[in-house]
Structure 1
Amino acid sequence: MPGWLQAILIAVAVVVASWLLLFLLARRLPEGLAKDLVGFLPDCVTTARVLRKDPRVPRRAKIAVIVAMLWVLSPIDLIPEFLPVIGPLDDVIVVALLLRYAARTVPREVLLDAWPGSPHMIERLLGAARPATTD
């Protein structure tokens, strides 16, 4: 086996092993903010998939949700993912901003139904509920 191929296989094995270790450690976290933060991006992706298919969601909100999904899935990042703790920070900020933008036009109950994680996390992201307006 060529040396360069062996080096690539070792690097891939180290990355996969570190991801598995982080996944196992994250599952053992006690309930609370740290556990919520670990599941934030996966919850956002699940929410985006649900909102993308919901007929009650306006087109511009669907576009914002799709952009958020593409941003998370894109291999190009402002901050490289391999940096511990701050690596996914740009993904979290962009997704949070785009979900807040989408929340302006999507009914709050639709967003709450689509969110698979802790309800207080999405409530915190969305901010205070807007009073209903009667026209």
Structure 2
Amino acid sequence: MGRLADWAGTLKRDVLALWLAARDKRTPLAAKLLAGGVAAYALSPIDLIPDFIPVLGLLDDVLIVPAGIWLVLRIIPEPLMAEFRTRAGELADKPRSTAGLVFVLAIWLAAAAALGMLLVP
């Protein structure tokens, strides 16, 4: 259980570090875009797959976010990422992502519209 808690803490710190990386002018453009997308999704107050759906609801927390973090870590230079991680550890409040909220809501609305088109002749 201790290792799992440590892993979760590392994930939270890395998401905040990506949030910082997306706003830093020293971050390469591709990394900035990917970091911004991963951070926006992870910090969004709602999930693409709601957590109350058995098994699937936890996939984004267990697979999608860590995979996104892994991809970004491969692009951002290690010394720069170490600086972002240090700054992320010092942040007291976790930011919220309005962009992530809008993105997830847009996907849900598009899915609802597509389902409505299929069901209504």
The TM-score range, normalised by the shorter chain, is 0.5 to 0.7
Q: Which residue of 2 aligns with 1:37?
A: 7
Matching residue within 63, 68, 73 for 1:103: 73
SS of the aligned residue for 1:104 comes to: helix
Structure index of larger Rg: 1
Matched, 1:77 2:45: no
Aligned-partner Cα distance in 1 for 2:55–2:14: 18
Larger relative contact order, structure 1 or 2 (CA cutoff 8 Å, min sep 6): 2
More helix by share: 2
Deviation at 1:64, TM superposition (A): 0.6
SS of the aligned residue for 2:37 comes to: helix
Matching residue within 26, 29, 46 for 1:59: 29
Q: Which residue of 1 aligns with 2:113?
A: none
**Pairwise CA RMSD:** 3.1
Deviation at 1:88, TM superposition (A): 3.9
Alignment of 1:86-125 (within 5 A): 87-116=57-86
SS of the aligned residue for 1:34 comes to: helix
Gaps of at least 5 residues in structure 1 are 1-28, 119-135
Aligned-partner Cα distance in 2 for 1:71–1:100: 15
TM-score by length of 1: 0.49
- Identity percentage of aligned residues: 25
Deviation at 1:45, TM superposition (A): 2.6
Gaps of at least 5 residues in structure 2 are 90-121
